[in-house]
Chain A
Amino acid sequence: GQQLNQSPQSMFIQEGEDVSMNCTSSSIFNTWLWYKQDPGEGPVLLIALYKAGELTSNGRLTAQFGITRKDSFLNISASIPSDVGIYFCAGIGGSNYKLTFGKGTLLTVNP
């Protein structure tokens, strides 16, 4: 089945630093989504990508959909303590509507 490989597994950064995380797959995805999940809560949609090569920003967040439709990165600039959480990439591919999730990147921001 389709799988997303997300890296790094965890990151420890200082407040104010920029951070980058990415996802790769051997399969092509039609839609690529980035979510943030806080403990005990549901995933919150951050950015949605629909076109190969698309670069989209949402405040301090920027994400790009790879040209081959098999990868994506998420950048967070000038991190703040509330950026702490687990970031998931997720994709919709093939003829179905389901989301396939990566395993997540745990971000810790030290004030």
Chain B
Amino acid sequence: EPEVTQTPSHQVTQMGQEVILRCVPISNHLYFYWYRQILGQKVEFLVSFYNNEISEKSEIFDDQFSVERPDGSNFTLKIRSTKLEDSAMYFCASSETERGGQYFGPGTRLTVT
């Protein structure tokens, strides 16, 4: 069964450093998303991406965040200058249609020290 994959599974970085989180969405899906989940809290939307551009972003997704689909398979989230409060699980998701079921990857645990 097709699935969303994410790398790395765990990333530790120092405050102020740049990180890139990588995702490979399900191959025939056209809509891509990033969410985050702070420990013990609910999943929060960051950004949606369709047709090579951002279709929606949340207040969390400020100028320090960017997304890119560098080729036909990868979808990346970059945080330019990490802050302590960026520590969270980051989930990539994809869907076939704009309001279809979204399938999540296993997540990347980001720890900012």
Contacts and interface: CB of A to CB of B under 8 A. Distances in A.
Interface of A: 30-31, 33, 35, 40-45, 48, 50, 88, 90, 92, 96-104
A48 B91 CA distance: 19
Nearest to A93: B99
A45 B101 contact: yes
Nearest to B95: A97
Does more than half of chain A's interface fall in helix, strand or loop, or is it mixed? loop
Interface size class of B (residues with CB under 8 A): 20 to 34
B98 interface: yes
Nearest to B98: A97
Interface of B: 4, 31, 33, 35, 41-45, 48, 50, 55-56, 58, 91, 93, 95, 98-107, 109
B107 A41 contact: yes
25 contacts: A30-B99, A33-B102, A40-B107, A41-B106, A41-B107, A42-B4, A42-B105, A42-B107, A43-B43, A43-B91, A45-B103, A48-B100, A48-B101, A50-B99, A90-B43, A97-B48, A97-B50, A97-B95, A97-B98, A97-B99, A98-B33, A99-B33, A99-B35, A101-B44, A103-B42
